[in-house]
Structure 1
Amino acid sequence: MAVDKLADFHGPHVQPPLPGHVRLSWYELTPRVSRIRVISHTCECRETTYELCAAAGQGFVRRNDRAEQTVHETVWTLTATARRIFEQILHGEAR
C-alpha cells in the first residue's frame, strides 16, 4: 500500500522529446486570478517539472525550471486542450 501512495506523490516521469516534437510557446507568468488548481504534475526528481493547471474555467501547463529558477506557462485555453498538451509533454511529443 505504501508503494502506491509513493507513486501517486511523485507523479509520472516526462519522456525525452521525440524527433519532430511540437515546440510549444512558453510565456511569463501573468497574475490573472487569485487561485490556481494543480490538476496533475510530473515527478519532482527532475530539474524541470510540469503542472497541468486550471483556473477561471480555463486550463494551461506550467513549466518549472529549477536550474534556471524560472516558471513559464502555455497559453490559457480550454481545459481539454490543456490536458492534451500535458499528455503530449509526458509522451515526448511536445516541449
Structure 2
Amino acid sequence: MAEPLDLPTQPPDAKPFPTSQPQDETPHGRPERPAAEEEDDQCAEVDSGLRFAQGDCIGIHVPPACPDAMALDWDAEHPRSDRIRVQEFTCACQPIFYEFCQSGGLFFIRRTRTSDGNVLIEETPRLQRKIAKALWSRLLKGAAY
C-alpha cells in the first residue's frame, strides 16, 4: 500500500483566515448597504429591495410599475435558437412573470402573461449583457414594464 503524501494545507506565505466578520459586513461577507434616503421620486419606496414571496412561492414578486416607468419593447416570441438558458426569473404565481434569458451570446427578457387559461409569451430584442441586465434591474424595481 502506498504511503500518503505529506501535502501542506496552506501555502507558506498564506495569511490565516479571519474567524470574525468585520462589523460593516453582513453574514454573507457583502458590505452593508446604506439606508436609502427619502426622495421625492414615487419609485423610491420600491427601489430599496425586492419582495420575496411567502409560503410556496420561490421567486421574486415584481412591484407595480411606477407612473414614470420606461416601457420596454415587447415582441411575440420567435424561437431563434435551439437552447435558451434562463439566468434569473420572477415568481410564476403572478399573472405576469418574467425570465432573464441568454441565447447564443445575447440576452433578453421573456414576459409570460396568463389570463383565463390563455398564455402569451413576449420577448425583448436580443441585447448585449450589460444593456439587458440594466433593463432587468429596472424591471425588478418597478422602473420599467
TM-score norm. by structure 1 comes to 0.86
Of Structure 1 and Structure 2, which has the larger fraction of its residues in helix?
1
Q: How many residues align?
A: 89
Report SS of the residue matched to 2:61. Answer: coil
- How big is each residue's C-alpha offset from its partner over 1:1-29, in whole Å with a ceiling of 9 and x where there is no partner? xxxxx99x712110110111001110011
* Runs of 4+ with deviation above 4 angstroms: none
Q: Hey, what's the Cα distance between the residues in 2 that align with 1:11 and 1:79? A: 22
Q: Hey, what's the Cα distance between the residues in 1 that align with 2:58 and 2:135? A: 20
Identity %: 33
Q: Which has the higher contact order (CA 8 A, sep 6+)?
A: 1
1:69 maps to which of 119, 126, 138: 119
Q: Hey, what's the Cα distance between the residues in 2 that align with 1:52 and 1:84? A: 11
2:135 is aligned with 1:85? yes
Of Structure 1 and Structure 2, which has the larger fraction of its residues in strand?
1
Larger gyration radius, structure 1 or structure 2: 2
TM-score norm. by structure 2 comes to 0.58
Q: Hey, what's the Cα distance between the residues in 2 that align with 1:83 and 1:11? A: 18
Corresponding letter in the other structure for 1:60: F
Q: Hey, what's the Cα distance between the residues in 1 that align with 2:125 and 2:132? A: 9
Point out where structure 1 has 5 or more consecutive residues left out of the alignment: 1-5
Q: Hey, what's the Cα distance between the residues in 2 that align with 1:15 and 1:80? A: 22
Counterpart position of 2:66: 18
Q: Hey, what's the Cα distance between the residues in 1 that align with 2:130 and 2:84? A: 16
RMSD over equivalenced CA pairs, Å: 1.7
- How big is each residue's C-alpha offset from its partner over 1:44-84, in whole Å with a ceiling of 9 and x where there is no partner? 12010000000100000000001151000001000121111
